[in-house]
């Protein structure tokens, strides 16, 4: 895969509920690209932060076995309605990943809920439902989710995390770099792909897909 991926910002899609997709949804073409590169038909494709279900919908269409968690019940209903197998999306909290009886996972593609370092009292990992947000704890909890996820991965599995560096009030939160550094303690960082959007997105400085693989048991 090329290190820089040219992408079109997709036009709004009326079949996707606005409140679930504005600024949060990556294009299906991006998922297609990674699934073609890293998976085969029949592989289990997991998204712990399913959102509007882009990863799962594309995985199902490409003959992979989708599985997702999502903390927001309305989004779960929405995603279930987009899938031929509505049981592929489960209401759940990724922080309690171990409780859902996951099968061996061959591939993960996800985008976590974002957080800026400053002026962000809402907690992303409660779906912004509580105001106990703390940037360092958020990174720790996110890392713990991927540590747990690592136990469910097959040996060949890749984990692709879409994350951007964020601008807010003239301050940049290097979220993508912080996530790369932090997740590298529990997964093996392979590379970053730069997403080259065809128009400026004013709340990010750059957007990435970070690619990880499992750390072999002997090297942990
Ligand atoms: C950035 S969106 C994912 C967007 C998705 N990639 C798409 O294309 O639609 C992040 C999602 O994570 C969900 N979420 C937040 N905290 C969660 C948690 N602890 N467990 C599971 N899902 C969570 C949010 O409700 C939100 O739908």
From 18, 77, 82, 113, give the residue whose CB has the most ligand 1 atoms within 8 Å, as the site to mutate.
Answer: 113
pLDDT of residue 10: 76
pLDDT string in tens for the chain (220-residue length): 899 999 998 777 666 666 666 566 899 999 999 999 999 999 999 999 999 999 999 999 999 999 999 999 999 999 999 999 999 999 999 999 999 999 999 999 999 999 999 989 999 999 999 999 999 999 999 999 999 999 999 999 999 999 999 999 899 999 999 999 999 999 999 999 999 999 999 999 999 999 999 987 777 6
Question: Which H or E run includes 168?
Answer: strand 153-168
CA angle 160, 77, 130 (to 5 degrees): 70
Ligand 1 atom 4, closest CA: 51
- Regarding the beta carbon of 71 and ligand 1, being less than 6 Å apart is answered yes
pLDDT score recorded for residue 172: 97
**Using a 6 Å cutoff on CB, does residue 204 contact ligand 1?**
no
CB 30 within 8 A of CB 195: yes
Report the C-alpha gap between 160 and 28 in whole angstroms. Answer: 14
Output the residue whose Cα is nearest ligand 1's atom 16.
125
Domain ranges for the chain, please list them.
4-219
Cα-to-centroid distance, 53 and ligand 1 (Å): 9
105 contact partners, CB below 8 Å, separation of at least 6: 44, 45, 46, 67, 149, 152, 153, 154, 157
Ligand 1 atom closest to 109 (CA): 6
- Give the pLDDT score at 20: 67
| Domain 4-219 is found in CATH 3.40.1500.10 | no
For the chain, the distance separating the N- and C-terminal CA atoms, rounded to the nearest angstrom, is 27
Q: Shortest CA distance to 86 belongs to which of 77, 94, 95?
A: 77
């Amino acid at each position: 895969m090329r290190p820089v991926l040219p992408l079109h910002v997709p036009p709004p899609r009326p079949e996707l509920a606005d409140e679930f997709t504005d600024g949060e949804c990556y294009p299906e073409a991006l998922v297609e690209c990674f699934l073609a590169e890293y998976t085969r038909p029949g592989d289990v494709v997991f998204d712990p932060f399913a959102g509007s279900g882009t990863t799962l919908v594309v995985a199902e269409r490409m003959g992979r076995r989708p599985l997702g968690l999502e903390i927001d019940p309305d989004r779960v209903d929405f995603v279930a309605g987009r899938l031929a197998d509505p049981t592929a999306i489960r209401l759940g909290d990724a922080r309690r990943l171990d409780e859902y009886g996951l099968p061996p996972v061959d591939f993960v593609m996800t985008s976590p809920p974002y957080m800026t370092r400053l002026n962000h009292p809402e907690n992303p990992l409660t779906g912004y439902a509580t105001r106990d947000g703390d940037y360092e704890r958020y990174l720790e909890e996110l890392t713990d989710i991927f540590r747990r996820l690592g136990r469910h991965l097959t040996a060949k599995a890749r984990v692709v995390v879409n994350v951007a560096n964020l601008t807010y009030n003239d301050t940049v939160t290097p979220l993508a770099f912080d996530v790369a550094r932090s997740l590298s303690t529990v997964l093996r960082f392979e590379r970053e792909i730069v997403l080259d959007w065809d128009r400026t997105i004013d709340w990010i400085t750059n957007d990435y897909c970070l690619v990880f693989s499992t750390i072999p048991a002997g090297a942990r």
